[in-house]
Structure 1
Amino acid sequence: MSDRLTVLFMPESAHGPTNQCIGIGKVLLDRGHKVVFAAERSWEGQLAPLGFVEALVDLAAPDPDATDEAAGQFWIDFINETAPEFRKPTIEQLSTFVQPTYQALIDGAKYVEPQLKAIIAEHRPDVLVEDNVVTFPALMTSGAPYVRIVSCNPLEMRGSEIAPLFSGYAAADRSGWEEFLAEFDRTHQGSWEDFNAWVQEQGAPPLQPREFIHTSELANLYVYPEELDYLADRPLDDTWHRMDSSLRETDGEFEMPAEFLDRPEGAGIIYLSLGSLGGADIGLLQGLIDVLGKTDHKVVVSMGPRADEIRLADNMVGASIVPQTKVIPQVDLVITHGGNNTTTESLHFGKPMIVLPLFWDQYDNAQRVDEQGYGKRLSTYDHTEAELLDAIDQLLGDSALRERAAAAGEAIRARKGLHVGADVIEKVGLDHVATR
């Protein structure tokens, strides 16, 4: 095509941001554009088969002794060591989990800067797209336009009339907001000041207070359905564009077992997923499986990185990774950790949720799903068996909720969020090319 663009994506290495960038990238690829992924090296061999250019980066010095097995063990060890932090109130997690996570991401951004500059020089992208929570100065100083994607809960776009990011606090109760923000400042100010100074040393603009990433002056995207959004309490300017969902079209098919369709009256089909990190908490996941195994419901389980240690019940099927976007349309209820991808994908297909948050913005998603009436938030580690089973029965038995969720899903699908995102990125790139 005469207006063929080169689009460079720089996603966070986690599955959620990378998968949603894959979704947008595939639309752009199908339109004839060249799509380059400056993804973290663990994605090697997974992106090229989809038609993308792999320009992979290391976020830390490579370990010469590392193997795939060692990488998997790293996350298992990480969860074993960190899971006790997830039992704490969110305000206490600011110092013990959120700040160290930000610092690790900052360290990665510093390490990758020369690699990104080299990749940009080689591929000369017409537009650069970042889906992360920390900035990469090379993306800001290349001379090409920059688009930011927020694929976390949109409390990340802060405002005085909405609850603090990472708090999981209710919109209707402001009693803890000020204390939470003060603790965020106390625990994060040092990291922010150091990072802000380094960012400016690289030639990028200064960061805004409490912000670790730049907002684009041209166009910004965020992934969240209108039905859960905060726009009434925190309006956004016209650089912001909402993608109600970002449903990748690259997942393989999933055939529901025939015996799942023949089940007792009142029994439903449930999808259970705690994400790649939650799935490594073997005690938590196995405990949920054991409870669900006592019911008449049928269950599809995303078993995570320790799948070989999981014991499924007779009413279940599962695998370490399942094609989630092909599973959710076929189930009646989703039990999730509240990751942004799973939350938005569940509502995309009109499915109510039980949310068991673990960390980061999962508490915010859990709270929003609950207070907007599309599911229930439970205490991840302290809920009782009866509470879980009662929540399942209530959600499966609430025909009005199921109808409302189905209607929301139909509306979300009609808004074609994936194509909204691709349109915005494409326009920014074409406008830039036209003015060169």
Structure 2
Amino acid sequence: MSTYCQDHMEKFKLYCSFHACPCCEKCCSDKHKECRDMKPLSDVVAQVKSSAWVQLLDKDLKDVKESFEEIIKYLKSRVNTCKFQKIQAFAKIQYMKNSIDELFNKLEKEIKYDLEYKHSELESEMNTLLLQLEQRANQINQLQSDFSQMTQHATELQMYVGLKEIEKTTSKAAQYIDDLKRGDNLKENNLQVIITPSVHSIVKYVKSFGDIHIHTRPSPLQVNAGREDQAQFLVPTYPGFDLIKPSMLRTLSIPDDKKCIHIGACRILPDSTYLILNNQDKKSQLWLFNNDGTFKKEVIGKLPGSSTDTCFVRNNTVAVTLGSANQIVLVDIEKKKVIKKIKISHDCYGVASDGQILVISSSEKSTIVNLDDIKRGTKDTKGTVKLINLKQTDNAMAKNEKDKQKNNSTHDTT
């Protein structure tokens, strides 16, 4: 709130309408030497406390305060929502883990039961066979003992009868052993567990239980952040055209070999260079001039047809209309060549661009061309465009104006 200039340490006496700031006398020859609309500061701040600006600023402060309160309330609700979402996510993870545990516990129980059942079957079969073999082995042992006693004490007849019986029993035992060897009873039955491939794949390939994503969407919060032109309310009403005093800023120097010209358009480019459209003898040229007004280069020496207007598009690109040829060309200033041709359905007289679209006008129609669509097209592009009938637009505007006048005649306005 200091009333002194921090750069020159002098009291503010003037006001620059262009920069919307107070100035001291030295500022006029320093930072504001190009500014034309300088006013006495006393005239600007007179009765400022009772001006509408105070009421507007008071309203802006209230709006901004309410906006902060709404945003804080909204963010607090979002914090609680995030906590609830975290609890839900934990519950979902735990539910999935419990489901997996229940499934694997069930599968584990089933495979263990199957293991016990098959082991019991194998053990029972082997124990039964083992019992039979032990009984037959005991029988052979008894025969061997009887054979030893018989050879010592039996008569010749007893010996003959006994040998017959022993031979018969031994033959049966040998046949039994041969049958065992040829059968399946002596094959090795080994217990082995084979884990399902899907279970193996879980261990091998599953590296994460899941992912945590933060899904972003536009905020539904609508707040009033105040006006963007608050500083301008300090400036009095702009003067009328009769009070504006133009002054010469720059003169372009045309080379001697280019004196015969017909200027169709002149544009100041973002780098402060000047672009001249020369339309002479049914051929058009683009010339570029430096900031000091000296000739820099010829961008295009000859364009087809009669050009009527040009405008800056973006980067190093400008658009040039080709009149009755119903065509617009995009020219790269640095490369000095036509990079795109756009055909439309009517004459091309005026052209303007905001870097995103082209607006091409004739006496009755205007065409809007999306530059992004043109960028994806071929060199000769017939754009999908939107046509505006200017006569219909003028009729609609005239009708609206009549309605306004009719309303003004029946109602008092302040």
TM-score over 0.5 for the alignment? no
Q: Which has the higher contact order (CA 8 A, sep 6+)?
A: 1
Q: Which has the larger radius of gyration?
A: 2
User: Is the strand fraction higher in 1 or 2?
Assistant: 2
The normalised TM-score by structure 1 is: 0.22
